[in-house]
Amino acid sequence: MSAISPEVLALADRVEAFVRNIVAPYEQDERRDHHGAPTDELVYELREKAREAGVLTPHIRPDGSHLTQRETAVVLIRSGLSPLGPLACNTAAPDEGNMYLIRHVASPALQERFLKPLVEGRTRSAFFMTEPAELQGAGADPSMMITTTRRDGNHWVVNGKKCFITGADGAGVGIVMARSEEEDAPGACMFLVDLPDPAITITGVPNTIDNSMPGSHAELTIENLRIPADQMLGQAGEGFKYAQVRLSPARLSHCMRWLGACIRAQEIATDYACRRHAFGKQLIEHEGVGFMLAENRILLKQSELMIDWCASVLDTGALGAVESSMTKVSVSEALMKVADNCVQAMGGTGVTDKTIVEQVFREIRAFRIYDGPTEVHKWSLAKAIRREWRQAHG
């Protein structure tokens, strides 16, 4: 396995310095929405500072090419050292995954129109896939999609309901996924659309346990959304295949960013445990606390190695569905323990908003569900194990 180049390591160092020195002081900034998520005013102010520092969209080179996944990991982990870091550096979900998908599937004309403003950090995006559970719509199982699309001349018309659409409120670019009703194009279709659009109505933005994403996770109705045929991503009926192109790297980049956040939480908890005294000595000298922080160090390193392993698989050009499922489960569960240990080690202070530790705990709890719950990934892995057994035994 080749070493990370000095140029990429230097870039990662610049990202880390920017997040620690410029972004972290904004963590107490009061420009938040009703849910506590950062407002677009705050996000775009930070992006201008990232632009000035030369660390905006650092995972994409000036010529438009993408860093390798291993190189991306080195950079995105550093951007995650603050919950605001990925927003400032333009490495956050869903934009980072949407940029990856558009670059790999969209035509040059669509890339110029929709990808360029995302890479430049001048707008946000949303990925319209998940649907309400009460309608038995698509969730962890995208094949259950009930949002439909049909041809109408040189347009496609989309109707349906979506939920948990991260960042939809305030986004300028949308990727809409719908099931084709055309017999000659069965399957799902993806479209690029300008937002807002009067045919897309946000019906609610529920409060959720996490609040790091501007726009939160909207519920919405799509009613007779007319999309020009040339705004389709790729080919009709191929949407589920394109979703897989996006999902494996997107799962992995979630792991990268939240590893960075947990590294920072560990630093904060360690500082607290070394400064705070109880029962005649530093907290860290008590095994109950010291062992938690020691366990965290092990889990953080395990997570780093899992990410690097999965990234190396994706860098071969493989889809990496099994490897990304394994990594998502391993890292999300490990980081949940890390975040919980940090809260516990800090006692009452750990559950307050005086530090980012309690927010990191909430965000990681949600991460165990987003991009596929742990149980779905384990089920998928079990299916792969059974399939391999059958192949080995005829």
Residue 97 lies inside a defined structural domain of this protein = yes
Give Cα separations from 115 to 74, 104, 108, 172, 354 (angstroms).
Answer: 23, 11, 10, 11, 38
pLDDT of residue 244: 86
Q: What is the pLDDT of residues 201-232, one digit of tens each?
A: 999 999 999 999 999 999 999 999 999 999 99
* CATH assignment at residue 85: 1.10.540.10
Whether residue 196 is preceded by a cis peptide bond, meaning omega within 30 degrees of 0, is: yes
Q: Among residues of the chain, what percentage have pLDDT more than 70?
A: 100
Same domain, 206 and 307: no
Q: How many domains does the chain have?
A: 3
C-beta of residue 217 within 8 angstroms of C-beta of residue 187: no
Is the same domain home to 245 and 224?
Answer: no
Tell me how crowded residue 153 is: count the other CB atoms within 10 A of its CB.
9
- In this structure, the number of other CB atoms found within 10 A of the CB of residue 297 comes to 12
Task: Evaluate whether residue 394 is within a structural domain.
Answer: no
Nearest 5°: phi and psi at 201?
A: -110, 120
- 266 and 187 belong to one structural domain: no
Distances (CA, A) of 114 to 60, 67, 98, 234, 240: 15, 20, 10, 14, 21
pLDDT band at 34, cuts 50/70/90?
confident
Q: What pLDDT was estimated at residue 61? A: 95
Tens-place pLDDT, residues 374-387: 999 999 999 999 99
Query: Residue 350: what pLDDT?
Result: 98
Interval 164-183 mean pLDDT? 96
Task: Looking at the structure, tell me whether residues 251 and 315 fall in a common domain.
Answer: yes
Residues 63-104: tens digit of each pLDDT: 999 999 999 999 999 999 999 999 999 999 999 999 999 999
CA dist 343 and 357 (Å) reads 6
Query: Cis peptide before 94, with omega less than 30 degrees from 0?
Result: yes
Give me the pLDDT at residue 68, please.
Answer: 97
Out of 70-74, 238-242, 325-329, least confident range: 238-242
Residue 79's nearest CA partner among 64, 93, 63 is 93
Provide the pLDDT confidence category of residue 394 given band limits of 50, 70 and 90: confident
In this structure, the answer to whether residues 252 and 333 fall within a common structural domain is yes
Which pLDDT belongs to residue 1? 67
Domain range spanning residue 201? 125-235
Q: What are phi and psi of 159, to 5 degrees?
A: -140, 140
Alpha-carbon distances of 191 from 126, 207, 228, 229, rounded to whole Å: 12, 28, 9, 9
Whether residue 180 sits in one domain with residue 114: no
Arithmetic mean of pLDDT over the chain: 96
Answer yes or no: do 24 and 63 share one domain.
Answer: yes
Same domain, 190 and 217: yes
The reply to whether 369 and 248 lie within a common domain is yes
| Separation of alpha carbons 31 and 20, rounded Å | 19
Whether residues 65 and 140 fall in one domain: no
Give the residues across from 66 on adjacent strands.
60
Distance of CA 51 to CAs 90, 120, 183, Å?
10, 9, 47
CA geometry: angle at 164 spanning 160 and 170, to 5°? 90
Residue 373 has pLDDT above 70, yes or no: yes
What is the model's pLDDT at position 349?
Answer: 98
